[in-house]
Amino acid sequence: MADVAATPNRTLGGILTATRGNGRLHWTDVFTYVYLVLGVALMFGPVVWLVLSSFKTQAGLQEFPPTLLPLGQIEVQVEGYDQPLPLFEVTFDDGTVREMAQVRRIGIVSQMVDPDEPGETVQVPIDQREPVREMRIAWENYTKPLETFNFLTYLNNSVIVTAAATLITLLINSMAAYGLAIYEFKGRNAVMLFVIGTLMIPITIILVPTYLVVTQLGMVNTLWAVIIPGCATPTGVFLLRQYMLTIPRDLIEAARMDKASEWQIYWRIVLPLSLPAIAVLAIFSVMWRWNDFLWPLIVLNRSEVYTLQIGLNAFQGELNVQWHFVLAMTVVALIPVTIVFAFLQRFITTGIASSGMK
């Protein structure tokens, strides 16, 4: 695998032409770069296409074949007409080309007027005109759903759920991890077994009974129904405990000598020392909660408590024809994870690789 490492020339050209020493470009080098370029295009391309599309007007989205950039037809205000008229480039039979505005279209003939001489209308067959277009970014795709739909409510709910659930998760998981890591007590092994045993129980196989429990507790159609049930993640307890085991016991003994209470030892000494592990769990918790779908779909049935994901799904069902709104809202939904990714990617990827969580 280390064949390229042997080449001293590290410029891009040097790497592209890296060989196995006999002067020929080995097929694996070509394959590597073709694969990487195609891979990046495939991974980012769809997201870029989504973002570009989200800035198109409704008319622009219905165009086939679609254009790459958000283009819109220029409209001009012509004297004597109340509405702005769409501008076209018209090629006349004698070969002259003029920019004209369309007044109305009847079948295959459109009535056009020169914006400079508004008095005179001309009949032009529609295949002789070509719309004049310019970059036009449809910000209203983003602003309108904020006014007309519950989008802000969904966003708000998602933020509340993510923040509250992450706080509770961190607190109770770190407390349990502290209890299991620092003390020798009767029943510790039983508790550990219990934690490991529940490590692999996915919500998908306990949907019905969990729904019953949540209903009995009166939490259906409240955000608590989404926040509470997933808080005690065995993965979190396990991860934090493994980390806390590495903390030197002398520190804790010294604190006890100084008459620190057990709670103070937990939050003044053990917690700060476990921050790297806690940060990993925090990032995961945020991702889990922000992206959660199946469980909220079951317990949230009223639109005022929808989270962003459920709202988006409902959007695309109801507003199938209004893709311009759906696309813009999808972009909003992917902004937070993209920001987290940009700032903390090194952290996330090492966290995943070392703990095997998702």
Partner 1 sequence: MALNDVAQPETVTMTDRAKALAAWPIKLVATVLDVPFRFIQRIFGIGAMPYFFILPNMIFFGTFVVLPLFINFAFSVTGGTDLFLADRPYVGAEQYEYLAACANHLDPTTCREDRFWRGIYNTMVFVFFQVSLMVLFSLITALILNRDIRYRGFYRAAFFFPVLLSPVVVALIWKWILLRDGVLNAGLVGLGLDRILFFVDPQWSMFWAIFVSIWANMGFYTLILLAGLQAIPPDLYEAAEMDGTKPERVFWRITLPLLWPNMLVVIVLALIKSVQVFDEVFVLTGGGPGTATQFIVQYIYTTGFASQVQNFGLAAAASVVLGVVLFVLTLLQLAVVRNRDKA
Q: Give, as ranges, the residues between 62 and 121 that touch partner 1 (CB under 8 A).
A: 62, 64-66
**CA dist., res. 202 & res. 206, Å (int):** 7
Question: Which pair of tokens denotes residue 12?
Answer: 């891009």
Please report whether residue 312 would count as binding partner 1 according to CB under 8 A.
yes
CB of 3 to partner 1, least distance (A): 7
Please report whether residue 221 would count as binding partner 1 according to CB under 8 A.
no
Which CA distances in Å does 80 have to 135, 136, 273?
27, 26, 75
Compare residues 103 and 195 and give the one whose CB is closer to partner 1: 195
3-state secondary structure of 321: coil
Please report whether residue 40 would count as binding partner 1 according to CB under 8 A.
yes
Contact status, residue 221 vs residue 299, Cβ threshold 8 Å: yes
Please report whether residue 352 would count as binding partner 1 according to CB under 8 A.
yes
**CA dist., res. 151 & res. 143, Å (int):** 10
Compare residues 139 and 293 and give the one whose CB is closer to partner 1: 293
Please report whether residue 337 would count as binding partner 1 according to CB under 8 A.
yes
Please report whether residue 28 would count as binding partner 1 according to CB under 8 A.
yes
The site that binds partner 1 (CB under 8 A) totals a number of residues, namely 116
- Site residues for partner 1, window 126-185 (CB under 8 A)? 167, 170-176, 178-180, 182-183, 185
Closest to 118 (Cα-Cα) out of 148, 77, 88: 77
Please report whether residue 333 would count as binding partner 1 according to CB under 8 A.
yes
CA 12 to the chain's CA centroid: 32
Give me the residues paired with residue 134 across strands: 72
Looking at 9, 77, 189, 215, which residue binds partner 1 (CB under 8 A)?
215
Residues 6+ apart with CB under 8 A from 178: 240, 244, 266, 270, 271
CB of 204 to partner 1, least distance (A): 5
CB of 135 to partner 1, least distance (A): 19
Please report whether residue 242 would count as binding partner 1 according to CB under 8 A.
no
Helices (runs of H) and strands (runs of E) counted in the chain = 16, 8
Please report whether residue 309 would count as binding partner 1 according to CB under 8 A.
yes
Looking at 69, 212, 245, 251, which residue binds partner 1 (CB under 8 A)?
212
Q: Please, is 207 exposed, middle or buried when counting C-beta atoms within 10 Å of its C-beta (0-12, 13-18, 19+)?
A: middle
Please report whether residue 245 would count as binding partner 1 according to CB under 8 A.
no
